[in-house]
Structure 1
Amino acid sequence: MTATNVHSTDVVIIGAGPVGLFAIFECGMLKLRTHVVDALDMVGGQCAALYPEKPIYDIPAHPAIDGADLVDRLAEQAAPFNPTYHLGQQVTTVEKTAGGWRVGTDKGTVIDARAVIIAAGVGAFGPNKPPLDGLETYEGTGVFYMVKRRQDFAGRRVVIAGGGDSAVDWANSLAEVAAHVMVVHRRPKFRAAPESVSRLDALVKQGRVEMVVPYQLSGLEGTEGRLTGVRVADLDNHEKVLDADVLLPFFGLAMNLGPIADWGLDMEKGHILVDQRTQATSAAGIFAIGDIAHYPGKLKLILCGFAEAAMAAHAIHPLVHPDQALHFEYSTSKGVPGA
């Protein structure tokens, strides 16, 4: 292990999603230095990876804001506090030390810190992939599990498979730019917001979206990694081919807590139990915020995660600065660096 791979800081934040990014700000306001680790190679978590162009409606002062814009603004808000990011790395070990905790990653990075904040959402996530022969041949060229930029699909023939919010929302959105949108689902009823389903029904009546129901995916066709068709089968196993350039299978995410499950923290149904007043876990010096944290009355909302980040930062301050009384000041009077 080289010396450049070993770091020292006040707080390690595991997870660079919206709540993790806001935790940088809250720690920074209390003069707590932070290092941030995330398995993705970019900040933003699910907002950036899964729905960067999908509007979010429950962020205070923003009647609507796209996931990517929210991430950009949170990163900008955190920037004055000079966080150190370790992206594309998964935390594999968290070990108690005399001065706090030592965090290690699968890339050999080691960070010593007084406290740890776990803001890892619901853990590592990946798409549930359809069991189709040769699927990997088309991944990244004709098969995609998320939409980062809808303009990437402009003028293309798109098959969307699934019956949940993601399938319906992207069918509605891509109908505005794609040459043709086809929705494959095993039944005519969708598990999506009623307003979104009504909009989809309207697009179908206008001929802008084609419903392929009741069908399921059965195979892919193409040459040299270029997708040309998607085979589907009905309930009697009768097949047909949909001419297509793109397949977007939206069958949900496979969630995996990974090494977090082995860190000896008190847990309940895959979530970390915390003290609601401080977000402290059962291990002194480790805190959990956001979707991965659980307490009575917990609401899985980004805005609740923001509040939890503030509570965790205030609980950590005396651990890092035991000889300094914390005189809380509002940001309106305290300001931020460079303001």
Structure 2
Amino acid sequence: IVHEGYCCDECQTEVDFITGFRWKCSICPEYDLCNICYMSNKHDLSHKFQRIVVPNSRENMNKSREESRRIKSNGIFKGATVVAIADEREEKKGTVLAIVDYMIDSGRSDVSVDWRDGTDSSNRILELSYDYGGTFYYYHDHLPVLGRESRGYIQVNFGFDKGPTKKIKVNIWHTVQQIKKLTFKPSLYLIFANHTEVDKKDEKMTLLDEVIEFAKKSKLPCHVVGQKVLFHSGSSNTVFIHCNTDKDTVKELVKKGFRNFERGDIDQTREDEIHYFIRMAKYVIGEAVLPVIISFRNGGMKSDVMPSAADSQIPIIRIKVMFLSRN
């Protein structure tokens, strides 16, 4: 990740922007450190920082570095001596010059090595064996935890055409490796789908009101297709949104008192709206869900619903009346 427009105030690298983690001082205005400088004890150790994994998202550190333990680590870092694993002719040693940028084809960063035979190359880390050197210090409790979702946030001053500005908080969820937990009692997960041809703005908002009230009473996760929102745990303050949730929907939710907006990462070429929200529901509930589509006016037959239902064998229940409060 490249943080465009932000350079390390310690390295003074005015040409290259910060890559990887960006650390922003919570006390000093407009002061940022790259990960190497942060872990190397640059700047005031008593100051707390914000960890910024991707642009426009941030996490507050509960402790300063002065209050935390710094751990020594040896490995394949800059300056380390490594051995080429694949070279069966003789032991080929070299010195790590740098850990280069994330490679799209491999999904990992590559390692640039200066070999003792006078050559240099870019290698995948699994092609190398650590020999010695390459000392690196880090603060263990300042790094994201593997096996849990890593979250950051942005604060937004959300303005209306008339009236005061409201401050909302958008939490950003990033996918990391998780240990799968088996469950024998999945939670019911409702997907509400109305038909686009009769789904006018007023009726959209009425259905939204109905689903909000139903979700509060039932405490079931409820996803409204098209408006791209997910209500969960009966919360009247927190809601999951999609990267394509429209501004009018967010504005209505702010009017109704919602202030915390959760949003996950998504590859729209591989994951549709329904499967995205199912994944978000699993995150927040912590167990598997049993999805069921509630179809109003044949909304379950829509092109953005039917393929997902067929692909994942999601049952569709057809409701003739429009609103949940009617008998």
State the TM bucket, normalised to the shorter chain.
Answer: under 0.3
TM (normalized to structure 2)? 0.22
Q: Which structure ranks higher in relative contact order (CA pairs < 8 Å, sequence separation ≥ 6)?
A: 1
Instruction: Report the TM-score when normalising by structure 1.
Output: 0.21
